[in-house]
Structure 1
Amino acid sequence: MCGIVGLFSPGSRAVPAGADLRRMADALRHRGPDGAGYHEEPGLGLGHRRLAIVDLSGGAQPMTTADGAVVISFNGEIYNHLALRRELEAAGHRFRTHSDTEAILHAWTQWGVGCLDRLAGMFAFALWDRAQGTLLLARDQLGEKPLYYLQRPSGGMAFASELGALLTLPDVRRRLDPSAVEDFLALGYVPDPHSIYRDILKLPPGHFLLLNIDAPSSAPLPAPRAYWRAPTSVRAAPEEAAASLGERLRGSVRDRLMSDVPLGAFLSGGVDSGTIVALAAEISSTPLATFTMGFPGASDERPRAAQIAEAHGTQHHAETGSADYIEAARRQAAIFGEPFGDHSAVPTLAVCAMARRHVTVALSGDGGDEVFAGYRRYRFHTLAEAVRKLLPASLRRSAVAGLARAYPTLAGAPRWLRAKSTLTELSLDSAMGYYRTVCKLQDERRRGLLSPSMRSALSGHDPSERFATLMAECDPDEPLLQAQYADIHTYLPGDILTKVDRTSMAVSLEVRPPLLDPGVVDFGLGLPAGLKLRGGIGKQLLREVAGSLLPPAVLSAPKQGFADRIGDQFRSRAPEVRARLGGEAMMDSGLFDRAQLIRLVDEHAEGRADHSQALWQLLVFEGFLASETPDLDGILPERDVVGA
């Protein structure tokens, strides 16, 4: 695992400033503590920070072909590089190292952009072909590895694995994007292709950029082009589906055990990580190291994890953690470079740090919920869609919507009495209804927290539109697939994989999720709904595979999220929360209504409502404003402090 940076100046014969390149790379030292390398020539500079995993002596980067005509700076792992090597050697290519990086170089010279379809792994890379005068930037299919880029005001463009590296450039403005601020408040992350900064973009998963050295330096950057998309329709049920999935998973796990350094696995005690650990322990020739972290007051997964570890003879490490979420909110910007609202990032960072004391690589169970329909919201969405088909749209928009408005919130009542959200979702169409189930701060409450100037600056921006667009790409008769497809292109890369990459890289740990092998994803999403969700229980086929691998108590246990309960901290320390949300950073920004922020804190402190998620996101945003000092000039029609 590594960090990459680069400067590209079309139309220029000057060598990019080496000091800029080194400053960018130094900002990624945590991603690659084992060494740094640079390549500089007219119009191009590439930098690399290395975390050595495979071919420790021969994999230094940037790496060139034997004739020096093609150069690459690469972050990730290509799991099928040995198979690619055999195919390329048969075609006449000669390799000088055992590194997976070199396989990409030869694949490019053999197949051009078509090489991306052949790469199985997680990756973000920059590849320069001097003879063609082209720079290829590419990102893996699911978005496991990040890549940010921008067009520089002084000409040319820059790219890097993390936002922080780009912000070291002296000509880069930190102008906030109001739409990205609202997206963060709505979803808890800023979805690609945008970042919190107006001038910096994310290369979307499964996309590439192809740039030409002869283009005018001031010409707009081309739009990214897709080379992969998740399935949009369901296939017929495969014969021996469980056996087929089992073989795919074994192959994926076997591929991800490739390492020349110590390797282990996270073990949460659930079906996803438990299945991965069971398969890895079965394949591995030595006892597998496993890691579990428990937190007081949260659902403790350690007992079930211990059962799995004992059943498969792993070298198990379990610890008890604790977290100060009010202070942790201040540190999120340093880790993520922009506001990030999933508070499970705090315990995830803790378990990554624990694992890093023992190993350099860890397998994870990430992706199982998205690929095999494990989230409870999928069950609700399919039920709601069935009801929608029974009720005329006019009736839903009038009678059901009216009932939803009249129904009390009943936040503290038993779940079966809290029907306001369900009625509201039923009154909406399918995409908008699903958006409400993933939205962290619903539209009416979110807009109420914003200042009048901020509401004006949003100019009708609607975070739900991307969900409508994505779900419309799928078979309209497959509501479960529509929801999964939306998550694969939004929540998975924007939240889950961002969380895993930044927290693991913060401690120089590489994490590999076998359930996100593109072949497994294609197989899982294409399954008929009944093989994924049945009787209100998700991951049906995955559970069938896991049946012979895991203790029965694990298979029957309810799903648990990996997060502490944060509401009690915000309640007992309400004066601190109030001081931060009503303090200088938030008020000077002009983005928020102070009276509404304080009201939110007070309602939570007095037990009148549970605003845990909203308060966490607002504290994270306050920490971002305080530490990153973004440029707010010209963002709002007029800067105002409301409700003071």
Structure 2
Amino acid sequence: MCGITGIFDTRAGREPDGARLQRMNDAQFHRGPDEGSVHLEPGVGFGHRRLSIIDVATGQQPLSNEDGSVVVVFNGEIYNYQELIPELQAAGHVFRTKSDTEVIVHGWEQWGEACVQRFRGMFAFALWDRNRQTFFMARDRMGVKPMHYAILDDGWLLFGSELKTLMQHGGLKRDIDPQAVEEYFALGYVAEPRTIFRQARKLSPGHTLTIRRGQPIPEPQRYWDVRFTLGARLSVEEAGEELRRRLSESVRLRMISEVPLGAFLSGGVDSSAVVATMAGLSDAPVNTCSISFADPQFNESAFAEMVAQRYATNHRVEQVGVDDFDLIDTLARLYDEPYADSSAIPTYRVCQLARKHVTVALSGDGGDETFGGYRRYRLHLMEERMRASLPAALRQPLFGFLGRVYPKADWAPRMFRAKTTFQGMARSAVEAYFHSMCFVREPLRSQLFTRQFKAELGGYSAQQVFERHAARAQTDDPLALIQYIDTHTYLVGDINTKVDRASMAHSLEVREPLMDHELVEWVATLPSALKLQGSNGKMFFKKSMEPLLPDDVLYRPKMGFSVPLARWFRGPLRERVRASLLHGPMLETGWFERDTLARIVEQHETGAADHSTPLWTLLMFDAFLRCSLGQTAAPVPEAVAA
């Protein structure tokens, strides 16, 4: 696990600025504190920070082939590298190391752009082939590892694991993309391929970018996608047996390490299944860690303890205070662009705890998306059955009207809160799911923005992100459709971003067995009825784990990593919220309606409404403006200024 960065001249072979490259590389020291190196030649500069995991003695980067004509920098792990080495040696390639990095170099020589099809793992890498005058960049299928890039006006391309490396170059324009702001306030993150800055992009998961010097720069190309065929005919027992076999293989591959290894153990189904599988593959006790909360409403540590005792793991637990909000500015600096998932706080803490004892940790991330575990999936399917009972020509105008005229009654008993139901019935499936995923929902999101900012948006809505992915899903199965959308949006933009930044802040490598692409592909062949039955999410997954885990872990209500935002904003963070939203740089942008900000602050403080999620989203945007941009006010788009 490492940090990579670099510069590439897309037009000619100008000499790269070594001082700038060194500055970019130094900005990601936390991603690889063990070693740091750069490679410079005409038109190319690569930088690398190393966290030594595999081939500790000889796996330094940037790494080249025998004659130095192909150079690579790589972040991640190629789990099947031991299988590929003899195949490449048989084809005549000579290896100087035992690292998975060198497999990329020779894989490129042997298979060209198709090399990524042979790699099983999490990866982001860039390579330069001098003989072909070709720059190649790739990102893993599930988007576990990040890759940012920008093409400057003068023809230089910048890339890096984190946006901060690009920002250190000095040539990146930092004017904010209004469409990215809309996506952030809708989703809590800026969706791929956009970044918060107009000039920078994220390379989307399962994509490559090939640039031949002096030729027009093409768009990134997709090399992989998951297809929900749902046609496999297996019983619950047969599916469970096959799942245990595939999970064991995935976990085994991710236990390859030359440094101390362990696992996160939250007490949920996914992390518990990973730990149980690790215990079956290891002769030594598994190292596990979890965090607890003093507030029982948020505390899962008792369930983690059940699993730890059953498998006699070396278990460590640390308690996080209920008012652990001192990380706000730290998180803003870590993420480089606005990021609003408040579970980033406990994630940061559990990574901090794990790094005290191990360098590599396995997690259960990806299980909900793959196996159908979210409560919102069940609610969406209930709504879909209701929507299907009436033709759209009748349903949309009827329930659209009722949704507009029926009063909002959050204070009333649930049976009288019909406004949300009416509104949901009037929407399409994609529109309804987008609405359920929004951090700041309509009409509040529209009320937040000024008229000038809306003009800059030009009618753009973050809903288009969901519609774009839905158009590629190639399925009309209600569950498969939203699983596909989540795999390309929430899993990448929220979960993977959160875990990557939080873990690498502590120089910790996190591996995700439930995101193994071969496992994901196989589960996508199974009928949705095996994943979600009535109120039982992850149905066949839980059944498959019954021999390994107690029912109290498998069938308890899902909790998740939560923090008490509502109470914070009425108590210890009250003054900070007022100062940030009503007097800080957010207002100086000219993008936000002060009256709306004042109204939601007042309503939340008095208890008239719970605006904790919108307030956190706004607070983190303010922290981004101050911490990541390092200025008192954000740059205002030219159209708004005009």
Q: TM-score range by the shorter chain?
A: over 0.9
1:568-599, Cα deviation, whole Å (9 max, x unpaired): 01011423311111123111111111121111
Higher mean alpha-carbon deviation, 242-251 vs 389-398, is at: 389-398
Contact kept? 1:43, 1:213, Cα under 8 Å = no
Aligned-residue offset at 1:296: 2.7
Aligned 8 A contact 1:323 1:347 in 2:
no
| C-alpha distance in structure 2 between counterparts of 1:155 and 1:473, whole Å | 32
Asked if the contact 2:15–2:42 (Cα under 8 Å) also holds between the matched residues in 1, the reply is yes
Name the structure 1 match of 2:441.
Answer: 442
- C-alpha spacing 1:53/1:522, structure 2 compared with 1 (3 Å): same
Are 1:325 and 1:569, in contact at CA under 8 Å, matched by a contact in 2?
A: no
1:272 aligns with 2:266: no
Give the letter aligned to residue 267 of structure 1: L
Query: Which range moves more in the overlay, 348-357 or 408-417?
Result: 408-417
Shift, 1:532, TM fit: 0.4
Higher deviation after alignment, 601-610 or 625-634: 625-634
Q: Residue 498 of structure 2 corresponds to which residue in structure 1?
A: 499
Q: Aligned equivalents of 1:147 and 1:396: distance in 2?
A: 43
Q: In structure 2, how many angstroms separate the alpha carbons of the residues matched to 1:181 and 1:538?
A: 33
| Structure 1 partner of 2:397 | 398
> CA separation in 2, counterparts of 1:502 and 1:21?
21
> Hey, what does 1:635 align to over in structure 2?
637
Separation (CA, whole Å) in 1 of partners of 2:164 and 2:322? 25
Give the secondary structure class of the aligned counterpart of 1:293.
strand
Does 2:229 align with 1:233? yes
2:28 is aligned to: 28
**Residue equivalent to 1:47:** 47
- What is the CA–CA distance in structure 2 between the aligned matches of 1:309 and 1:604, rounded to whole Å? 40
1:171-250 aligned at under 5 Å gives the runs 171-215=171-215, 219=216, 221-238=217-234, 240-250=238-248
TM-aligned CA deviation for residue 313 of structure 1: 1.0
Count how many residue pairs are aligned between Structure 1 and Structure 2: 636
> CA shift at 1:639, angstroms?
4.4
Who is 1:370 aligned against? 369
In the alignment, residue 518 of structure 1 is paired with which amino acid? H
| Partner Cα separation in structure 2 for residue 516 and residue 142 of structure 1 | 7
Matched ranges for 1:343-492 at <5 A = 343-413=342-412, 415=414, 417-492=416-491
Q: Distance in 1 between matches of 2:315 and 2:492?
A: 29
Distance 1:253 1:161 in 2: 25
> 1:223 is matched by which residue type in structure 2?
E
SS of 1:443 mapped into structure 2: coil
User: Hey, what's the Cα distance between the residues in 2 that align with 1:10 and 1:470?
Assistant: 30
> What's the counterpart of residue 168 of structure 1?
168
Which residue does 2:250 correspond to in 1? 252
For 1:517, the aligned partner's letter is: D
Taking the aligned partners of 2:364 and 2:168, their CA distance within structure 1 comes to: 34
Contact 2:31 2:505 in 1 (8 A): yes
Partner of 1:65: 65
Q: Is the 8 A contact 1:329 1:616 kept in 2?
A: no
Q: Tell me the residue number matched to 1:531.
A: 530
Report the Cα offset of residue 326 of structure 1.
5.3
CA apart distance, 1:68:
1.2
1:144 and 1:497 in contact (8 A); partners too:
yes
Say whether the 8 Å CA contact 2:123–2:145 is kept in structure 1: yes
2:286 maps to a residue whose letter is: L
| 1:446-483 Cα deviation digits (max 9, x unpaired) | 11011221111111001111212322333453010000
In structure 1, what is the Cα distance between the partners aligned to 2:495 and 2:176?
Answer: 23
SS of alignment partner, residue 443 of structure 2? helix
Give the deviation of 1:403 after TM superposition: 2.3
- The AA in structure 1 aligned to 2:517 is P
**Aligned partners of 1:633, 1:365: CA distance in 2, in Å?**
39
After alignment, is 354-363 or 240-249 more displaced? 240-249
Cα separation, partners in 2 of 1:412 and 1:118, compared to 1, 3 Å: farther
Name the aligned partner's letter for residue 237 of structure 1.
Answer: R
Instruction: Describe the superposition over 1:291-332 as per-residue Cα deviations: whole angstroms up to 9, x where unpaired.
Output: 111123342110000000000110000111026465433332
- Separation (CA, whole Å) in 1 of partners of 2:608 and 2:121: 48
Contact 2:359 2:509 survives alignment (8 Å): yes
1:615 corresponds in structure 2 to 615
Match in the other structure for 2:591: 591
Paired position in structure 1 for 2:304: 305
CA distance in 2, matches of 1:275, 1:74: 30
Q: Cα deviations across residues 175-198 of structure 1 (Å, max 9, x unaligned)?
A: 100110010000000001100001
Greater CA drift, 563-572 or 19-28:
563-572
Q: Does 1:286 align with 2:281?
A: no
My pick for the range that moved more, 170-179 or 363-372, is: 170-179
Q: Distance in 1 between matches of 2:192 and 2:471?
A: 18
Compute the displacement of 1:634 (Å).
Answer: 5.5
Q: Which amino acid in structure 2 is aligned with residue 123 of structure 1?
A: F
Give unmatched runs, 5+ long, in structure 2: none
| Structure 1 match to 2:318 | 319
Q: Structure 1 residues 516 and 348, CA, compared in 2 at 3 Å: closer, same or farther?
A: same
Q: Is the 8 A contact 1:325 1:566 kept in 2?
A: no
Aligned counterparts of 1:333 and 1:200: Cα–Cα separation in 2: 18
The answer as to whether partners of 1:233 and 1:478 remain within 8 angstroms in 2 is no
SS of alignment partner, residue 639 of structure 2: coil
**Matched residue, 1:110:** 110
Stretch deviating more after TM superposition (257-266 or 475-484): 475-484
Secondary structure of residue in 1 paired with 2:298: coil
Contact 1:264-1:361 at 8 Å conserved across structures: yes
1:533-562 deviation per Cα after TM superposition (whole angstroms, max 9, x unaligned): 002211112111211111111112011111
- Of 376-385 and 513-522, more deviation after overlay is shown by 376-385
Query: Match for 1:283: what amino acid?
Result: L
TM-score, length of structure 1 as denominator length: 0.96
Aligned to 2:508: 509
Rounded Cα–Cα distance in structure 2 between residues aligned with 1:417 and 1:347? 36
Please, which moves more after superposition, 266-275 or 624-633? 624-633
Q: Is the 8 Å Cα contact of residues 139 and 206 (structure 2) preserved in structure 1?
A: yes
The structure-2 alpha-carbon separation of the partners of 1:173 and 1:546, relative to structure 1 and needing over 3 Å to count, comes to same
Q: Map 1:569-588 to 2 at 5 A.
A: 569-573=568-572, 574-588=574-588
Q: Is the 8 A contact 1:154 1:171 kept in 2?
A: no
RMSD over aligned Cα atoms:
1.6
- Contact 1:281 1:287 survives alignment (8 Å): yes
Identity rate, percent:
45
Partner residue in 1 for 2:561: 562
Deviates more, 1:364-373 or 1:427-436: 427-436
For residue 212 of structure 1, report the CA deviation from its aligned partner.
1.1
TM-score by length of 2: 0.96
Query: Which amino acid in 2 is paired with 1:390?
Result: S
Counterpart CA distance in 1 for 2:630 and 2:456 is: 20
Cα deviations across residues 15-59 of structure 1 (Å, max 9, x unaligned)?
A: 201001100000000000001111111111111000000010110
Which of 27-36 and 424-433 deviates more? 424-433
Question: Aligned partners of 1:238 and 1:27: how far apart in 2?
Answer: 50
Contact 1:332 1:339 in 2 (8 A): no
Q: Give 5+ residue unaligned stretches, structure 1.
A: none
Structure 1 range deviating more: 385-394 or 630-639: 630-639
| CA positional deviation for 1:75 | 0.3
- What is the distance in 1 between the residues matched to 2:409 and 2:318? 37
